[in-house]
């Protein structure tokens, strides 16, 4: 079987054109990269930002992306063969790795090249967020979230309105978002009102799922985000553990809470290609409709945001799911695209059942 990312299908004229444009852009940034990463880098980035009328961050991100790829020879060779990684993905790699350190990236280079090598035909390429998480998994020991000193800021945005920002671990941020969203939905109020009720101790009883594939890896959110050590202790103290069962099935139309939690942990976000809407905002879709005999089981289910759920219901696009949770999408123009489950359990969902 020939494996390739859909965007690299050179039989498609749009893909050929996109590749040529990207190669030109990449060559430009490569030509601007200084030979040494010394103090000149700052000056060159600043000067280019002025000349091109981009922000300095825009310029630095692209220069760093090209530089970082050069420090990963196996991935670089793969990129030169496939041209599959665009700038958002290359920037995710560069910004997640601190390539300026003396560390050797030989092992990570091999793993990244394997991860970013297509496994099936018409495969959708992992998103920048997914690539970032893959690297952080590898660097797990070094990726412990640091404790911010002042972690809440309030910024006025309009008369009588303010934006509240909380700096926390990614896991805590996602869990707070999920709890607030669920409470707001239940009470039919705004997220701000729901958060206030929680802060005042009213209606705090919402169930938020966290996941554990192996006790040594600790609890994660559905998307795989990590918690700090103290947050983990708090969560473990109040958690109820249940086994995930991807083979569970019920005769009725509605998925049980346990099934919903399993599907969210496997999919992480909407399964439509390049859609990253988080699990808490998604519907659970019967891939083969219930009315056509599709079972109510995680094996016949996927997360879809409302927009993409409607698209499927209206038959603007069709899809199938296999036993590993891989979804094959087919447009009316017969373009085929395969999406992997990108949640914490991902495509390992058919192996040993984990806990949640
Ligand atoms: Zn979607």
- Say how many Å lie between the CA of residue 279 and the centre of ligand 1: 10
Per-residue model confidence (pLDDT) at position 99: 59
* Tens digit of each residue's pLDDT (9 = 90 or more) over 180-236: 999 999 999 999 999 999 889 886 678 888 888 777 777 889 988 888 888 888 888
- Say how many Å lie between the CA of residue 301 and the centre of ligand 1: 14
Whether 356 has a pLDDT exceeding 50, the answer reads no
Average pLDDT, the chain: 88
- Say how many Å lie between the CA of residue 287 and the centre of ligand 1: 14
Task: Say if residues 84 and 5 touch (Cβ distance below 8 Å).
Answer: yes
- Say how many Å lie between the CA of residue 208 and the centre of ligand 1: 21
Cα 113–chain centre separation: 18
Percent of the chain with pLDDT over 90: 61
Lowest mean pLDDT among 31-40, 104-113, 188-197: 31-40
Per-residue model confidence (pLDDT) at position 140: 72
- Say how many Å lie between the CA of residue 264 and the centre of ligand 1: 14
Place of tokens 């202790």: 233
- Say how many Å lie between the CA of residue 311 and the centre of ligand 1: 10
- Say how many Å lie between the CA of residue 53 and the centre of ligand 1: 34
- Give the confidence band of 349 by pLDDT, cuts at 50, 70, 90: very low
Instruction: Give 181 or 350, the one with higher predicted confidence.
Output: 181
Instruction: Give 151 or 87, the one with higher predicted confidence.
Output: 87
How large is the average pLDDT for residues 107-119?
Answer: 92
- Say how many Å lie between the CA of residue 161 and the centre of ligand 1: 30
Cα 343–chain centre separation: 8
For residues 31, 35, 36 and 42, what is the CA-based torsion angle, rounded to 10 degrees? -30
What are the residue ranges spanned by the domains of the chain?
Answer: 6-143, 152-199, 209-356
What would the two tokens of residue 145 be?
A: 């979230």
- Say how many Å lie between the CA of residue 269 and the centre of ligand 1: 8
Per-residue model confidence (pLDDT) at position 240: 85
* Distance of alpha carbon 185 from alpha carbon 8, whole angstroms: 41
Task: Say if residues 329 and 336 touch (Cβ distance below 8 Å).
Answer: yes
Instruction: Give 306 or 346, the one with higher predicted confidence.
Output: 306
Print burial letters for 6-25: b (CB count within 10 Å at least 16), e (below 16): bbbeeeeeebeeebeebeee
Instruction: Give 321 or 207, the one with higher predicted confidence.
Output: 321
Whether 336 has a pLDDT exceeding 60, the answer reads yes
Per-residue model confidence (pLDDT) at position 289: 95
Q: How many CA atoms lie within 13 A of 154 on its CB side?
A: 3
- Say how many Å lie between the CA of residue 275 and the centre of ligand 1: 5
Per-residue model confidence (pLDDT) at position 334: 84
Q: 129: buried, middle or exposed (CB in 10 Å: 19+, 13-18, 0-12)? A: middle
Per-residue model confidence (pLDDT) at position 177: 95
- Give the confidence band of 324 by pLDDT, cuts at 50, 70, 90: confident
- Say how many Å lie between the CA of residue 307 and the centre of ligand 1: 6
- Say how many Å lie between the CA of residue 253 and the centre of ligand 1: 22
Cα 237–chain centre separation: 28
Whether 351 has a pLDDT exceeding 50, the answer reads no
* Distance of alpha carbon 310 from alpha carbon 317, whole angstroms: 10
* Distance of alpha carbon 197 from alpha carbon 182, whole angstroms: 13
Per-residue model confidence (pLDDT) at position 100: 58
- Give the confidence band of 244 by pLDDT, cuts at 50, 70, 90: confident
- Say how many Å lie between the CA of residue 263 and the centre of ligand 1: 15
How large is the average pLDDT for residues 324-334?
Answer: 90
How large is the average pLDDT for residues 62-71?
Answer: 93
- Give the confidence band of 344 by pLDDT, cuts at 50, 70, 90: confident
* Tens digit of each residue's pLDDT (9 = 90 or more) over 252-288: 999 999 999 999 999 999 999 989 899 999 999 999 9
Whether 101 has a pLDDT exceeding 70, the answer reads no
Per-residue model confidence (pLDDT) at position 327: 95
Percent of the chain with pLDDT over 70: 91
């Amino acid at each position: 079987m020939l494996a390739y990312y859909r965007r690299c299908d050179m039989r498609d004229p749009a893909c050929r054109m996109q590749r040529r444009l990207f190669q030109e852009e990449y060559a430009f940034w490569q030509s601007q990269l200084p030979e040494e990463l010394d103090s000149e880098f700052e000056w060159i980035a600043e000067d280019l930002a002025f000349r091109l009328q981009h922000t300095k961050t825009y310029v630095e991100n692209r220069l760093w992306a090209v530089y970082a790829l050069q420090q990963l020879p196996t991935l670089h060779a793969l990129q030169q063969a496939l041209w599959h990684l665009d700038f958002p993905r290359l920037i995710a790699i560069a910004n997640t790795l601190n390539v300026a350190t003396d560390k050797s990236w030989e092992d990570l280079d091999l793993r990244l090249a394997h991860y970013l090598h297509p496994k099936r035909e018409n495969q959708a390429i992992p998103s920048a967020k997914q690539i970032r998480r893959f690297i952080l998994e590898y660097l797990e020991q070094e990726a412990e979230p640091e404790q911010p000193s002042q972690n809440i800021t309030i910024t006025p945005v309009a008369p009588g309105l303010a934006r509240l920002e909380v700096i926390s671990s990614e896991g805590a941020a996602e869990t707070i978002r999920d709890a607030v969203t669920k409470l707001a939905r239940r009470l039919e109020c705004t997220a701000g009102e729901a958060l206030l009720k929680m802060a005042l101790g009213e209606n705090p009883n919402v169930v938020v799922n966290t996941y554990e594939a192996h006790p040594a890896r600790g609890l994660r959110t559905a998307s795989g985000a990590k918690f700090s050590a103290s947050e983990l202790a708090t969560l473990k103290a109040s958690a109820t553990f249940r086994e995930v069962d991807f083979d569970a099935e019920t005769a009725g139309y509605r998925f049980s809470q346990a099934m919903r939690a399993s599907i969210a942990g496997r999919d992480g976000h909407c399964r439509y290609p390049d859609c990253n809407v988080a699990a808490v905002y998604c519907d659970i879709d019967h891939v083969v409709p219930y009315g056509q005999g599709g079972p109510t089981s995680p094996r016949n289910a996927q997360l879809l945001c409302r927009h993409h759920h409607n698209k499927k219901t209206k038959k603007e696009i069709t899809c199938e799911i296999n036993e590993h949770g891989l979804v094959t999408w087919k447009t009316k123009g017969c373009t085929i695209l395969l999406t992997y489950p990108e949640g914490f359990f991902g495509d390992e969902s058919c192996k040993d059942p984990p806990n949640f």
